[in-house]
Amino acid sequence: MDKAELDRQFSDLYKAHLRDVYSYSYYRVGNHHDAEDLTEQAFLQAYRHFERARRESDGRPMRPWLIRIAHNLASNHYRDKSRRPESNIEAVEPPAHPHTTERVVEGREELRLVMRKLEVLPDDRRDALIMRFALDMSNREIARALGRSDGATKVLIHRALKQLEEEMAHEGGSGDD
């Protein structure tokens, strides 16, 4: 394949998944500034390794590979800062909903709670849920992005949901915050 064709394919990948990479980065770091940095770095790194990755993908979708790059960069981002982010997923403002005022307040509180409880999960569980719900990735895609088997990923997501459910129930039962 010549370089022009390879570049065209990268261009398609970039256009198709800019939002995915940005969304994933945003939910990992919790602010637009760092999410933009991570997205930019992810695409630069992807471009450098695109030819090889495409060859090795054997026709499979490239999105998991791209998200894996963003995932590794986000992990490095925390490691470099030697701390958790000051503004993380918990600080992400829930989206607005077209309901009545009372339901909006109630709904937004519920969303805030789920965001706060996501932060309690171990990193791999939380990351798998971001991939599943923010990016609508299949178990197989998530497995490739996290470098795990399909079976292990299914278990990971099941445990993540179960733990989150328990955390939410505990919060609801205790009535405190």
Partner 1 sequence: MTETAGRMDLEALLGDALRPIEPPESLAARVEDTLSAITEEAAAALGSWADELSDSELESLRDPRNWVRPVAAIAVGGVAAGALAVVGARRRRKPSGLRQNAERLIGELSSELRR
Does residue 19 interact with partner 1 by CB under 8 A? Answer: yes
4 backbone dihedrals φ, ψ, rounded to 5°: -60, -40
Euclidean distance between CA atoms 140 and 124, whole angstroms: 15
Euclidean distance between CA atoms 148 and 142, whole angstroms: 8
Q: How far is the CB of 153 from partner 1 (least distance, A)?
A: 16
Q: Using CB under 8 A as the criterion, what x/- string covers residues 76-95 for binding partner 1?
A: ------------------xx
- Smallest Cα–Cα separation from 66: which of 57, 77, 58? 57
Q: Is the dihedral of CA 130, 131, 137, 142 positive or negative?
A: negative
Q: How far is the CB of 26 from partner 1 (least distance, A)?
A: 5
Q: Which of 124, 134, 148, 154 binds partner 1 (CB under 8 A)?
A: 134
- Smallest Cα–Cα separation from 85: which of 18, 19, 38, 134? 38
Euclidean distance between CA atoms 42 and 114, whole angstroms: 28
The interface region with partner 1, picked from 53-61, 72-80, 128-136, 138-146 by CB under 8 A, is 128-136
The interface region with partner 1, picked from 29-37, 53-61, 137-145, 148-156 by CB under 8 A, is 29-37
- What residue ranges bind partner 1 (CB under 8 A)? 3-4, 6-7, 10-11, 14-15, 18-20, 22-23, 26-27, 32, 35-36, 39-40, 43-44, 47-48, 94-95, 97, 107, 110-111, 114-115, 118, 129-130, 132-135, 161, 164-165, 168
